[in-house]
Structure formats: structure tokens, C-alpha cells
Amino acid sequence: MTDQVFPVLPAGFRFGAATAAYQIEGAHDEDGRGPSVWDTFSHTPGRTLGGATGDTAADHYHRYREDVALLRDLGVDGYRFSISWPRLLPAGTGPANPKGLDFYDRLIDELLAAGIEPCVTLYHWDLPQALEDRGGWRVRETAEAFAAYTALAAERYGDRVRRWITLNEPYCSAFVGHAEGRHAPGTREGRGALAAAHHLLVGHGLAVRALRASGDHEVGITLNLDRIHAASDRPEDLAALRRAETLHNDVWTEPLFAGRYPEHEAETWAGQADGPWRLPDDLRLIGTPLDFVGLNYYRPICVAAAPHQADDPAGRTAVDIGVAEVDPYGTRHTTMGWPVVPSAFTELLRDLHARHPRLPPVWITENGSAEADTVAPDGQVHDTDRIGYLADHLRAVADAIAAGVDVRGYYVWSLLDNFEWARGYEQRFGLIRVDYDTQTRTPKDSYRWYRDLITAHRARTEETR
């Protein structure tokens, strides 16, 4: 390949790969780790496809050296991974688990020895079950416990980790978990889900404060904002778009970057939104300036109006907002059923930049595709569709940068095939195939393409210096 076939990103742009603890680590009950909400959820019959759990997953806990070697050979600048809160604090609070602390020491040291910058996500959905039993994210005490856990991690690893992410996709934690019931803890709530959304942001603010106090770190949050289109210009569809924007995006971006709660929250949730969980100084805490914002993107969504009783919140969940998703895109879909629309990625980045003058620099912290990977007779995985997806979406990032958006780097999702939450093990996002029976790792064609892209980028940018 020549570098002309690759997306062209500016000098200084950084490339990485990403994973999450519960999706790859396994060792769910080893060395003192406590149970998380995802252990409970996945062990509950009917919650995950085929009853799949993260008990073993990709066995990264035992095979991290092999996985770091694959990262080194991939040539990435950085690796984004998450710490398992219940591995460090089995009960969520109280005494730390020495063996859990030691595991991440070993992982971080292995990364640094390979010349790879660690980027730590503190919360990627694995809330200690003991905290859920006491109210979980519905109560402020969990936000305070999160701050204490953050301080512990920063004290232990802050001498070697510079880039920290507080939360990953709080939308999924609050709404997919507490309102749709498709993720842990698997409930269908209205006010409880909105309280969880707010306390996640409070926990973020407290964690930022703890990280700032612990040293000179780069601190951010990762959001899965959506590029949302209206099905038509009819007033009712445009109103549905406003409500969808409130649910998916404004709940997070307005408090974080504009110092206010969403403009259309009363229209969206009636009396459910402005609850007693909001305290007077919360917006100031939540809006503490950040060094970067992480953005996860996979697909756009299109919405049309559906029956909506905003003035009658009784019995409604926080996602019952009178919106129906439609699919007018007419494009290829990944095996997740998601339309492939790279231009919407550029639109999302440009719109975010235009709406929020206080927006910090952006890192793409997840982007990738689940594909129908098969092992060919030659023993390899020729995942042409994934390569096309990655190439087109990196070009979309380049287009956003050309339009003035400050995007600093890109972490592909994912390094490894892994436990895809409620969808179990049938969806494969990895650059590296994992045989879950043998735990054999096989780099796919997309792994080699990404490696060649990184090599070409470095050669091109060094030539232009």
C-alpha cells in the first residue's frame, strides 16, 4: 500500500486502540475482585444473548503481556483501557485490594516498556454490586464513592498515567441501564434514570477535582453523542428531534460545556427532570474545565414523532419521550444493524464545535464496526468491510479537522474481539480475532491495515517537518 490510499491526518495526530475491563479481562472472581452490576446482570437468565457472561471473556487478566505485545507490533501511540472498580475496591468503598492494584501496575509498566502511552478510563459501566445494593447511581453517595476510588487510582498510578477519562458513555449507564433495561442494572425507571444521569455527572465533577488535586494530569470525559436527523420538516418531527437531542446529547453537553441544564427538558420529561437530586452548586462542579472530551461514534439515528404524553409522567421511563427511530439512510449496515454513514461523523463533530465555544480539544475514543468475520481457508480474517469503515470514518475526522474542529487523536474500537455486553460474543469489533475456546489471538487484515496507516502517517509527517 502507498500512503495515498490512507486518510491524511495532520502532524501530531495520535493513533491508539481501546478496550474495557469487563469486556476483556475475565478472572471475574480471582484475586479478590468483587462482583459488579454486570456480573449480576449477565448471570441473570434471559439478560444476555445465549446467557453469555464476562467471566472469562478474552482472558486479558492472564494474557495482558501477549496483548501488549500485539499493541506494540501494531505501532499505536496509546492504549485506552478501563480499570475495574470492583477489582480495586471489591465493595466499592473501604479497603483496597492489593492484588487488584498490582495487576494494573503490571499492565501500565508493560505498556510503558513497549513505548505505549496509557489512557485510563475510570468507569466503563462495572459499578460494584455492593454500591448498587445501596442505591447505585440514583444516590449521591455513589458519586462520592467514585471520587474516593478516583483518588485511590490517581495516587497509585498517577506517576505513570497522564491521560484520564472519568466516565465512559454515561448515556448508556443512565438510560440504557436504568430506563431501557437492556444493560445493567436492567431496570425501567423514569425519575431514577434521570437521577442516575445527574449523579454520574456529579461523580465526574468530583473525580475531576480529585485528579486535579493529585497532580498534573490531562482529564476528560467520554460521551457517545449522536448525530440525529429528523425524518421530515413537519413540526411534530422537528419537536421529536428536539426531545431526542435532549435525551441523547444535551443532558451531558449543556451542564458540561454551557453551565446549564437542557433547554427542552420540561418538554421532554415534564416534571421528572428537575428533581431534588440537583443541589445549588452542582452545575459549577460539573462544568469544571476539562483538558479534552472523548467522543465515541458508530452511526447516526433518524427520528420521527410518536405518541407522547409529556404532561403525564406517571409510569413512564426516561426514554419514553415520543420518538420513533427510522432508517432512511439506504446504506450498508454493520452486524449490529447500524447504518454506515461517515459524513454524519463529520456533521456531529462540526455541530459540537459550533454549539459549544467552551469545548475542549476532542479525542475520538471509540470508533469501529462489528462485521461478519470468518476465518478463511488460509487461517486469516479478511475483513474488507471493516477496513472500508475505518478508512471512511478517519476521512470524516480529517474533514472535520479541515473545518476547524480540534481533534487530537483516535482510538479504534476495539483491539480485541470481546464480550459485547447484552449481545454476548456474536458481535466482533476487534482488529484481532479471539477464539474463545482456545483464547488464540489472530490479527485480522484490519490490524495490518491500521498498522500500515500509522506507519505511513509517521513517514509522511516526518518528511514534511
Kindly name the residue from 117, 169, 245, 420 that is annotated as catalytic. Answer: 169
Q: Are β-strands 362-366 and 218-223 bridged in parallel, bridged antiparallel, or unpaired?
A: unpaired
> What does the longest C-alpha to C-alpha distance in the chain come to?
64
Catalytic residue at 169?
yes
Of 198, 185, 191, nearest in space to 136 by CA: 185
* List of residues 6+ apart from 102 with CB closer than 8 A: none
Kindly name the residue from 25, 245, 366, 420 that is annotated as catalytic. Answer: 366
User: Taking the CA atoms of the chain, what radius of gyration do you get in angstroms?
Assistant: 21
Distance in angstroms between the alpha carbons of the first and the last residue of the chain: 23
Q: Are β-strands 441-443 and 432-434 bridged in parallel, bridged antiparallel, or unpaired?
A: antiparallel
Q: What does the block give as the cell for 86?
A: 470492583
Q: What does the block give as the cell for 251?
A: 443532558
Calculate ∠ Cα 229-124-384, nearest 5°: 60
Of 44, 26, 20, 22, nearest in space to 186 by CA: 44
Query: Among all residues, which ones are annotated catalytic?
Result: 169, 366
